[in-house]
Amino acid sequence: MTSTGSEPPELPERPEFPAPQQPGAPGAQQGGPAPEWGWVRPQAVLQTVETEPLEYHRLLRGVANYRWWKPLLLLLLSAVYFGIFSLVVGFAFVPVLMLDPTYFDGIMSGEGALIDTQVPLSVLFSLVSIIIMIPSVILAMLTLGMRPTGRIWSVAGRIRWGLLGRLSLAALLAVIVMNVAGIALEIAMDPASLTETAETSSSGADFDWTAAWTSLILVVLLVPLQATAEEVVFRGLFMQVLGSWLKSPWFGIIIPSVGFALAHIYDIWGLLAVGALGLVAGWVTWRTGGLEAAIAIHIVNNLIAFGFMTFAVGGETAQVEATGGPGSFIGSLVGYALFIWLVLRIFRKHGYGRSRIDLVQVPVTEPALAGGAPMIGGGAPQGPQQHG
């Protein structure tokens, strides 16, 4: 039968909802919110906020998604990459080093010096074996997403070349004073040392001038990278890893300096001088917010030391344990004191920063949501800031 229009239109069926359960009824929930399904839970709301001003040794706390264990993983991963690069360098150099059986046998037996400027290949191998620490650290930071990797250089996220140039001149003056004072004090304490040094000068009949000049070229080209690599590890990586856990900079200054000294083969006076260099480099790194001062003093010091060794100015062309006496150590303290004074004057005059503010994302708390707390800059991300 056809519709006459008097019948009400059919309505869509309403979904049936379970009747509300009375408290105490079987199967009723006893208080608390209804269970939520995982796929309907809202995503965490993130807010971009500024970190506190971070000094150089605390810069790892400004990386994205910082966790306490990430600096430790950075340290371990850097060691893994360094081990891999060392194997590559070792396998590449073994056939070349075997061209000089005397040197190769001396290294294998432990009787020969690892660095001998009369064997240019030994200089090349030794310096390259240290330089690979730079890519090891940078690659580890990239692997863990610790960007910008330039935070390993300074609070500016890069090498401040103008500062490095100015401090290199200061380092040159300080190292000259250091060596003049050290030699003068050694002669004053032991006048016979002057005669001994003259007798073992580079004028010997078996001195190879071709090898010396070849080694000097390698030194000039590679020592800046070698010294920089050591600073990246001892005043960069180690200081920032320790600083991410410990707020006082002294842990990151003293502990790596001890390791830096023990990594050398010198006698007690040499170890004290190297330890003093580590302490000075660590302090000026923290005070200036970057590695530039440490790199400057390390490069100039090593260039002059290798230059002396290349032409047997101190009587030896190879790296040996004896590096001088108390006079040399006192002379080094005089030179380092002058360097610190020059660094502070240059740094203050040109107004470089020594802290950094990074932007990080953190979960928004319930009070912030209720109050409608805005993001930094009204929601527009801002770049990291360098503060003086």
User: Environment class of residue 312 by beta-carbon count within 10 Å: exposed (0-12), middle (13-18) or buried (19+)?
Assistant: buried
pLDDT of residue 86: 96
Alpha-carbon span 40 to 134, nearest angstrom: 47
List the alpha helices (DSSP H) in 24-116.
Answer: 70-97, 101-109
pLDDT tens column, 263-321: 888 889 999 999 999 999 999 999 999 999 999 999 999 999 999 999 988 778 887 77
Span 76-84, average pLDDT:
98
Candidates 88, 60, 386, 52; CA nearest to 236 is 60
pLDDT band at residue 252 under the 50/70/90 scheme:
very high
Q: What is the pTM of this model?
A: 0.82
pLDDT band at residue 82 under the 50/70/90 scheme:
very high
pLDDT of residue 172: 98
* pLDDT above 50 for 122: yes
Based on its alpha-carbon atoms, the radius of gyration of the chain, rounded to whole angstroms, reads 32
Comparison of pLDDT for 36 and 380, the residue scoring more: 36
pLDDT tens column, 22-35: 555 555 555 555 55
Alpha-carbon span 155 to 166, nearest angstrom: 18
pLDDT tens column, 210-222: 999 999 999 999 9
